[in-house]
């Protein structure tokens, strides 16, 4: 390697501080920002990165890993003996079959494609099953291979422009469902491939709802890729909102709901940036949109509804690192109004983050146990939940350490 080349922390044996500095720089995060989010001084960060202070204790390492969106803890610590993936869950047993269906060429004409009405009915049942099942990835993972192949075939066998647009809308929705299954599994290339195909199919369909859903998912994918991609996340959400503006007068509930979901994505990204005013401003817009929906309405893809806005407020406060406000929002949110088991579990995880941020680790663990009860596969694949549980397995309080260890065992968190 040339003397002036930047070392790669994923391949070269570097000290913890060097790895931290390189990963921080790659994420485009300054020392003062990292210091502020850790509750430390910029000089402390500088000393750690310079090797003047030794490796911090596990709770601090885990907070650093979360801030830098480190996928595998060993990438930060350099310890390859027990890799622990934080933001990538274990590969699901149904992942290979879903991957094969996505990668297959549907060229054969030896059978007739199902109608778009038939595909729509199957998709409706699939979304309902996803919301109702505790192990929702297993349920939709079983349905996806057939749905993917049939939707691709329906596009290929379309005989008119209108039927092709309808088939493209169905295919885009199938890819949207696929993203819920593939997210946070160890195949990011597959996730991006599905996201891009979903966007292409949505654009070909010229359906504002399909375009909105595809943009909503793409915005999340960009944001989860780190600060360097926040602008792309904003662009995706705002361009989709601008496109949908002309359809909103007289639009049905699902189109209004996806517009509200996109407004919240803008709030979420602003909160990740630490832009308090913009984050709550966009939340207010999303809340106003939600209030124009029927009280019992619940969007099957995004979960957008009046019922979800309290959960969204918790997320904004947590991402802004406002511990007291996060807890206040958590206490005010009505979790019982969320009918979807995986979305309820996600909300419980956000509540746990709020309590942990506010220095209430016992309550955070109890809330994560509720998340596990609602939907085990949601918490198992969630990096924030994994980080909290791992941190509390090192607690000095024996009862808390034992409770965290039991939850870590349920999640197979420390399995090699």
Single residue among 150, 178, 206 that ends a domain in this structure: 206
Q: Is residue 187 part of a domain?
A: yes
The CA distances from residue 252 to 167, 180, 204, 238, 401, in Å, are: 20, 24, 21, 20, 50
* Domain co-membership, 180 together with 141: yes
CATH label of the domain that carries residue 27 = 1.10.260.40
Query: What integer is the mean pLDDT of 147-173?
Result: 95
Neighbours of 297 (CB within 10 A): 16
202 lies in a domain? Answer: yes
Same domain, 100 and 199: yes
User: Among 190, 286, 191, 200, which residue's Cα sits nearest to residue 237?
Assistant: 286
d(CA 394, CA 335): 30
Residues 109 and 55 in one domain: no
Query: What pTM does this model have?
Result: 0.81
In a domain, 134, yes or no: yes
pLDDT digits (tens, 9 = 90+) for 31-59: 888 887 777 888 899 999 988 888 888 77
Both 107 and 52 in one domain: the answer is no
- Shared-domain flag, residues 67 and 113: no
Inside any domain, residue 296:
no
Same domain, 25 and 118: no
Statement to judge: residues 161 and 120 lie in one domain:
yes
CB 218 within 8 A of CB 236: yes
User: What's the average model confidence in pLDDT over 289-300?
Assistant: 95
- Residue 400 within a domain: no
Confidence band for 2, pLDDT divided at 50, 70 and 90: very low
Q: Is residue 212, in this structure, part of any structural domain at all?
A: no
Q: What is the pLDDT of residue 84?
A: 52
Closest by CA position to 145, among listed 191, 96, 186:
96
Tell me: do 68 and 98 sit in the same domain: no
Which residue would you say has higher pLDDT here, 163 or 227? 163
43 shares its domain with 22: yes
Percent of the chain clearing pLDDT 70 (strictly above): 92
Alpha carbon 180 to chain centroid, angstroms: 9
Residue 174 shares a structural domain with residue 111 = yes
Instruction: Please give the tally of structural domains in the chain.
Output: 2
**58 lies in the same domain as 130:** no
Question: Which pLDDT belongs to residue 3?
Answer: 41
Q: Are 377 and 90 in contact (CB under 8 A)?
A: no
pLDDT at 101 over 80: yes
For residues 129 and 205, what is the distance between their CA atoms, to the nearest angstrom?
26
Domain containing 143 equals 90-206
């Amino acid at each position: 390697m040339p003397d002036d080349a930047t070392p790669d922390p994923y391949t070269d044996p570097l000290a913890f501080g060097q790895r931290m500095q390189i990963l921080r720089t790659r994420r485009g995060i300054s020392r003062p920002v990292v210091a502020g989010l850790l509750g430390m001084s910029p000089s402390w960060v500088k000393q750690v990165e310079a090797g003047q202070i030794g490796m911090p204790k596990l709770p601090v390492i885990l907070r650093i890993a979360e801030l830098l969106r480190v996928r595998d803890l060993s990438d930060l610590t350099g310890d390859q003996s027990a890799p622990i993936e934080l933001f990538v869950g274990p590969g699901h047993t149904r992942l290979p079959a879903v991957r094969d269906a996505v990668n297959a060429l549907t060229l054969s004409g030896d059978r007739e494609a199902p109608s778009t009405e038939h595909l729509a009915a199957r998709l409706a049942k699939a979304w309902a099953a996803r919301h109702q099942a505790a192990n929702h990835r297993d349920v939709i993972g079983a349905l996806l291979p057939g749905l993917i192949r049939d939707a691709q075939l329906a596009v290929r066998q379309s005989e008119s422009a209108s039927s092709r647009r309808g088939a493209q809308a169905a295919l885009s929705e199938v890819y949207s469902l696929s993203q819920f299954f593939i997210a946070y599994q160890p195949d990011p290339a597959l996730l991006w491939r599905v996201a891009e195909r979903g966007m292409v199919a949505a654009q070909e369909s010229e359906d504002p709802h399909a375009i909105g859903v595809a943009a909503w998912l793409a915005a999340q994918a960009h944001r989860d890729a780190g600060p360097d991609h926040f602008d792309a996340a904003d662009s995706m959400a705002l361009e989709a909102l601008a496109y949908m503006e002309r359809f909103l007068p007289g639009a049905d509930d699902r189109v209004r709901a996806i517009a509200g979901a996109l407004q919240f994505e803008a709030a979420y990204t602003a909160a990740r940036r630490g832009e308090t005013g913009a984050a709550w401003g966009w939340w207010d817009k999303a809340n106003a949109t939600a209030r124009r929906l029927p009280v019992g309405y619940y969007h099957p893809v995004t979960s957008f509804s009046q019922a979800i806005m309290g959960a969204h407020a918790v997320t904004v406060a947590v991402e802004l690192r406002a511990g007291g406000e996060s807890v206040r929002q958590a206490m005010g949110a009505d979790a019982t109004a969320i009918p979807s088991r995986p979305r309820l579990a996600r909300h419980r995880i956000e509540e746990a983050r709020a309590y942990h941020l506010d220095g209430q680790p016992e309550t955070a663990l109890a809330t994560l146990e509720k998340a596990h009860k609602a939907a085990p596969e949601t918490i198992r694949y969630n990096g924030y939940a994994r980080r909290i549980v791992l941190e509390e397995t090192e607690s000095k309080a024996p009862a808390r350490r034992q409770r965290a260890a039991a939850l870590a065992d349920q999640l197979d968190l420390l399995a090699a």
